[in-house]
Structure 1
Amino acid sequence: MNERLKELRKELKLTQQEFANKIGISRGNIGAYEVGKNKISDAVISLICTKFHVNEDWLRTGNGDMFIEMTKDEQIEEFIGDALRNEEDSFKKRLISGLAALDENGWKVLEDFLDSIQKKERD
């Protein structure tokens, strides 16, 4: 499992420190897991699988795909949650706030605008 943990971290393009920060444990623990010095606890496996949408069977045994496919709704929910939690005064947060404030007419204007952009791209 230690090799798969390292493979996962590299696939995510994270350092040991960044990976550890995202799941709330020390960098030293990640290093010890990756070299096989320490056994990964069930709680840490659960954290990893939840945070990174990892297939637990793959992490434990190597069977199946590395990641669990997220639905479009789950992807949107995660994007919005991350933007609201982690972004101060970013464009992403302002955009979400602006979308939340739209009335029906505003949604129609936005839809027409996006349709016109897509039509130009197809032509």
Structure 2
Amino acid sequence: MQTIYERIEFLIKRQGLTKKSFCAQLGISTGNMGDWKRGKSTPGTHKLIEIAAFFHVSLDWLILGKQTQTVQESGEDYFFGPMRQLNCQSEELQPEEKNFIKEYIAFTEYRKRKDKDQNS
């Protein structure tokens, strides 16, 4: 199974960047990259969001190595019902599930702002 670092390294190579230029563009110290490589630490949530946006990949893929399906918006609140939980579940979400959803929403808002800024 690939690690987050290995997926980041793959993206850096695919983009034709050096690790040094990647770090400079995203404000990452080479020491932090070294710690990620050795498994001593992993990128924080905000840095993962930045990296995913930089390479135009999903957080699911970057964190877990999983591809996500595209969801078409229908104008309805398809993730949450009136009780603010997944419509397909009858039980309350776990705190880590709620945090992941909040982080993903923050990521999509970041991408929208970035795309809007680039198109302005």
TM-score, normalising length: structure 2? 0.50
Higher normalized helix content (fraction of residues): 1
Larger radius of gyration: 1
Return the TM-score normalized by structure 1.
0.49
